Structure 1
Amino acid sequence: MLKTKKNYYITISKYSKNISNPKQLLKQLDNCVLTPKGNGTYQNISRQYGLE
């Protein structure tokens, strides 16, 4: 299984009118990454694709 920890990056235009609170959006994105890793979903998907 891939156990390497890597940073991820996202680019958001500071002129975007669709994102009213960029800090809140980044927290939500972090939760979208961390939640599946914490509840086993990420491990199940990586096992399904033979990444372990």
Structure 2
Amino acid sequence: MASQRKFFVGGNWKMNGNKASIDGIIQFLNAGPLDPNTEVVVSPPAIYMECV
């Protein structure tokens, strides 16, 4: 049985933003309709890791 490949979408951001803007980004990504065959990865800077 052949496994189906998933699309991979990755993104990162620089040191821009604040806690409120990061919360907005995360809420937007979590609420968005995503195809189950798509894997989404977000890479925040180390100082924002606790916010994600």
Taking structure 2 as the reference length, the TM-score comes to 0.30
Structure number having the greater helix percentage? 1
